[in-house]
A = this chain, B = another copy of it.
Amino acid sequence: MKEKANTFQLVPKPTLLRLPGYLNYLKTREKDDCLTISSAVIAKDLEVNHVQVRKDLAFVSKGGRPKTGYAIIELTADIKSFLGYDNLTDALLVGAGNLGKTLLSYNGFSDYGLNVLAAFDTDERIIGANINGKPIYALDKLVDLRRRLNVNIGIITVPEPEAQKVCDLLVASGISAIWNFAPVHVYVPHHVIVQNENMAASLALLANKLSDSIRLQDNQK
């Protein structure tokens, strides 16, 4: 017997990475007052294969209808539900510098199911303050608060040199997953999940594509 429950479905990583892209795309189409959309159109605009699109969507949705395509509103809801965007997961942020403050100020995270509860820092001047309604606590309150609030996700936005120390602290506090914005590798025990927000990697890809395309132009002379 085939297991069908969302949570037990194994979704390929590439599909998982494309799903938020479909969502962003559907957002723009919804504004255009489209009610339905075909995999061929999505494929063309997003520059992926149309079979790919249908396969990806099949993981998360009951599917479209032959001749009409996918109902945009329904499909949007399906993807959001699959990605867990409709129930909030709490997170704690460490490092209320520039980037940290920006993330605290960003109200869009709730759209993605993330709820940043509070921040921690060592800078006396900002401890006790709050940003966008989110309090900044002293770093030594982290372990205790993490436990009492039972938060599973920690966000690291401290400068590079402090990343490992902060990471260790989060681990000691019992965190399950870490979203790391510092551009260094952090060591964690096996049971802790790390997701690196690697803007450098993203940039590298852009620069690479750019130089490829410039080379191509040059070759065509």
Q: Which residues of A contact B (CB under 8 A)?
A: 7-8, 11, 13, 16-17, 19-21, 23-25, 27-28, 45-46, 83-84, 89, 98-99, 101-102, 105-106, 108, 111-114, 152-153, 160, 164, 176-177, 179, 183-185, 187, 191, 193, 195-211, 213-215
- Can you give 12 contacting A-B residue pairs, CB < 8 Å? A11-B208, A16-B204, A20-B198, A24-B184, A24-B200, A25-B185, A27-B185, A83-B208, A112-B200, A114-B207, A195-B209, A197-B202
Using Cβ atoms and an 8 Å threshold, which residues of chain B touch A111? 183, 200
Chain B CB count within 10 A is highest, among A152, A206, A208, for A206
B98 contacts A106, CB within 8 Å? yes
- For A185, give its contact among B8, B24, B185, B196 (CB under 8 Å): B24
B179 contacts A193, CB within 8 Å? no
Main secondary structure on A side of the interface with B: helix
B152 contacts A17, CB within 8 Å? no
Using Cβ atoms and an 8 Å threshold, which residues of chain B touch A105? 98
This chain's copy number in the assembly? 2
A204 contacts B20, CB within 8 Å? yes
Q: Which residue of the partner chain B has the closest CB to A17?
A: B201
Q: Which residue of the partner chain B has the closest CB to A178?
A: B206
A150 to chain B, nearest CB (A): 13
Q: Which residue of the partner chain B has the closest CB to A26?
A: B185
A73 to chain B, nearest CB (A): 17
A7 to chain B, nearest CB (A): 6
A155 to chain B, nearest CB (A): 10
B176 contacts A207, CB within 8 Å? no
Using Cβ atoms and an 8 Å threshold, which residues of chain B touch A213? 176-177, 191, 193
A179 contacts B153, CB within 8 Å? no
A205 contacts B17, CB within 8 Å? yes
Using Cβ atoms and an 8 Å threshold, which residues of chain B touch A208? 11, 16, 83-84
Given A195-B205, A206-B195, CB of A45 within 8 Å of CB of B187: yes
Q: Which 10 A-B pairs have the closest CB atoms?
A: A195-B206, A25-B185, A20-B201, A102-B102, A20-B200, A177-B210, A98-B102, A24-B185, A83-B204, A193-B209
